[in-house]
Amino acid sequence: MGKAQPLAVTERTAAAMLDMKPSEFRGLVQCGALPSPAQISDKIERWRVSDLEAILNGSAIDNDFET
């Protein structure tokens, strides 16, 4: 049996997955360019790996966006 792939990651790991600094990552989350984290408890938040992948592969594009 292989190593389990993470379903959700910390801000630092999510930023590293996108090759950016955590501060850059948080800024993009705050302006809505990247997904918000899931709240697991009052003090724990994690980013879903599937949400990050969806942004990068284009499947999470906002269909209401007008050009």
pLDDT in tens, 18-51: 999 999 999 999 999 999 999 999 999 999 999 9
The one-letter code for the residue type at 11 is E
Q: What's the pLDDT tens digit per position in 5-14?
A: 899 999 999 9
Q: What are the angstrom distances between the C-alpha of 28 and each of 4, 24, 55?
A: 28, 6, 12
The pairing of strands 38-39 and 45-48 is antiparallel
d(CA 51, CA 10): 13
Hey, which residues does 48 pair with through a beta bridge? 8
Note whether 33 and 24 are within 8 A (CB): no
